Amino acid sequence: MRKTRSIHLIVAASATMVMAAGMAAIVSTPANAATTLGAAAAESGRYFGAATNSFMLNRQPHATVLNREFNSIVAENEMKWYHTEPNQNQFNFTAGDQLIAHARARGMTVRGHTLVWHAQQPAWAQNLSGTALRNAMINHINRVAGHWRGQIHSWDVVNEAFADGSGGGRRDSNLQRTGNDWIEVAFRTARAADPSAKLCYNDYNTDGVNAKSTGIYNMVRDFKARGVPIDCVGLQSHLGTTLDPTYQQNIQRFADLGVDVQITELDIMQGSNQANMYGQVTRACLAVARCTGITVWGVLDPDSWRTGANPLLFDGNGNKKPAYDAVLNALNAGGNNPPPTTAPPTTGPPPITTPPPSGGGCSASVSLNSWNGGFVATVRVTAGSSAINGWRVRLTVPSGATVTGAWNANRSGNTGAVDFTNVDYNGRVAAGQSTEFGFQATGNGSIPAPSCTAS
Ligand code: G2I
């Protein structure tokens, strides 16, 4: 306790000295310095976020601090597979919807965590293997990323798929045993399900140049070379009492591959070096143009998953800790390289171009995202010169292919000619406007132009 306080005093004293040296007038803070983490990060085009849970949104003092300080949130647990699909093909979006509504009402962005992970799988998925698990994974990504399509800034598509230790290889898991391509299938599926979300690979013990981060680096380099859609790497950064001297260098080498880097789950063990390390991590991110945001893994110390470590920026009463001041000061000092403004991902499926039909009725077009043995189809339904109140699309899937699931449409049939009709929320399409639905299938081949009938 005494130690912490004396460090706080030193930081405060040196901050005052810096200010006194730079300014003739006696002011407590520079007039233009932002006073919250989110606002300070936003000055260089970055976000500063926190993990939270729907049941904490109205709990004090958590709510006040969350809403005041952060401009991004992530679900600590409530968007994980066990939570969103507790029984196969039965989805629960309630908590995630609440978090997103809370964020949107306050202009915060939302990170999605996480679509697929070996841990926190529902029991039914833990008991699957092979093709059944692969298809369940694809369906899960389609349904979850599809449900929140357009509302997620960045998805942790795959979490913690690499092993710890010196090998730099993949972690053994039921997902890994479906075949080494499961990660790229997950990313391709996610891209089709939500083309506007940035797609991240997220992991821990990657807080410097080491065997594990190098394994991930090699995967990202390979994905970029082969056009597998990946936009960002999440470095979790659950840290102890010292920072790896290659922390910034590691961020930079990922950025140099052409992906964004996000610090996704930052928390740092309380101790004499906590505030200093928080400052170091913040400065390292700010120094790399493509390090676009930082998320702390919780708001108040007592809510942290690291019981007793007090690894966050606020104590249980919502008071700012010295670590908070270190982060805010680092953010306000700015980075020399503000990241480029967020551009839509460019490696997604080709845009679907369908001229609206000249008369009434509707038209449909399809684009495929295929891998060896399967594909995800995105079908766009466009109304003609009059609004429509319902639609039916008929298309022919390749010979040998079987449709295994659909979203945003009702389906009849799964081989040969398959019919899809609107669900209750997407039947009405204004003149010249479009709606989309999708399906996944095993097999490969192309699909001739579908027909569309308006009702
Ligand atoms: O383990 C820390 C993080 C590492 N990276 C991925 C993150 O998703 C992970 O978050 C933690 C949550 O902070 C914990 O809250 O993931 C844990 C699960 O692996 C979460 O803990 C679990 C408890 O173990 C369960 O007993 C509990 O039912 O949270 C569950 C929901 O409260």
Q: Which residues contact 164 (CB under 8 A, 6 or more apart)?
A: 205, 212
The pTM score is 0.76
Predicted local confidence at residue 344, as pLDDT: 46
Each residue of 420-437: pLDDT tens digit? 999 887 888 999 988 888
**Residue 56 DSSP class:** G
Cα(342) to ligand 1 centroid in Å equals: 30
Predicted local confidence at residue 29, as pLDDT: 56
As for ligand 1, residues whose beta carbon falls within 6 Å of it are 76-77, 119-120, 159, 204, 236, 265, 305
Amino acid at 329: N
Cis peptide before 114 (omega within 30 of 0): yes
Predicted local confidence at residue 404, as pLDDT: 84
Q: What is the largest CA-CA distance in the chain?
A: 80
Predicted local confidence at residue 441, as pLDDT: 86
Please indicate whether residue 160 is annotated as part of the active site: yes
Cα(114) to ligand 1 centroid in Å equals: 12
Q: Is the separation of the CB atoms in 256 and 250 below 8 Å?
A: no
User: Any idea which residue has 């306080």 for tokens?
Assistant: 5
Predicted local confidence at residue 249, as pLDDT: 98
Q: In the chain, which residues have pLDDT < 70?
A: 1-31, 336-359
Cα(253) to ligand 1 centroid in Å equals: 29
**Residue 76 DSSP class:** S
**What's the half-sphere exposure (Cβ side, CA atoms, 13 Å) at 454?**
21
Cα(296) to ligand 1 centroid in Å equals: 14
Predicted local confidence at residue 425, as pLDDT: 75
Q: Is the separation of the CB atoms in 235 and 288 below 8 Å?
A: no
The residue contributing the CA closest to ligand 1 atom 27 is 77
C-alpha to C-alpha distance for 85 and 117, rounded to whole angstroms: 13
Q: Which residues contact 90 (CB under 8 A, 6 or more apart)?
A: none
C-alpha to C-alpha distance for 440 and 131, rounded to whole angstroms: 13
The residue contributing the CA closest to ligand 1 atom 15 is 305
Catalytic-labelled residue, pool 78, 160, 184, 436? 160
Q: Residue 150: helix, strand or coil by DSSP?
A: coil
The string over 417-451, giving b where at least 16 C-beta atoms fall within 10 Å of a residue's C-beta and e elsewhere, is ebbbbbeeeebebeeeebbbbbbbbbbeeebeebe
Cα(66) to ligand 1 centroid in Å equals: 20
Strands 109-117 and 238-239: unpaired
Q: Is the separation of the CB atoms in 422 and 406 below 8 Å?
A: no
Please indicate whether residue 43 is annotated as part of the active site: no
Amino acid at 40: A
Cα(409) to ligand 1 centroid in Å equals: 34
> Which of 54, 76, 202 for a ligand 1 pocket mutation test, highest count of atoms within 8 Å of Cβ?
76
235 sits in which H/E element: strand 232-235
Q: Which of 253, 182, 185 is nearest to 221 (CA)?
A: 253
What is the position in ligand 1's atom list of the atom closest to the CA of 53? 32
Return left, alpha or beta for 200; rule: phi > 0 is left, psi -120 to 50 is alpha, else beta. beta
How large is the angle between the packed helices 2-22 and 322-333, nearest 10 degrees? Answer: 30
Predicted local confidence at residue 408, as pLDDT: 77
Q: Which of 189, 203, 181 is nearest to 145 (CA)?
A: 189
The residue contributing the CA closest to ligand 1 atom 21 is 305
Whole-angstrom CA distances from 411 to 181, 278, 364, 403 are 28, 52, 15, 9
Q: Residue 266: helix, strand or coil by DSSP?
A: strand
What is the position in ligand 1's atom list of the atom closest to the CA of 297? 13
The residue contributing the CA closest to ligand 1 atom 16 is 77
Each residue of 50-93: pLDDT tens digit? 999 999 999 999 999 999 999 999 999 999 999 999 999 999 99
Predicted local confidence at residue 358, as pLDDT: 52
Q: Is the separation of the CB atoms in 375 and 441 below 8 Å?
A: yes
Cα(365) to ligand 1 centroid in Å equals: 42
Cα(21) to ligand 1 centroid in Å equals: 46
Q: Residue 154: helix, strand or coil by DSSP?
A: strand
Amino acid at 123: A
Q: Is the separation of the CB atoms in 132 and 107 below 8 Å?
A: no
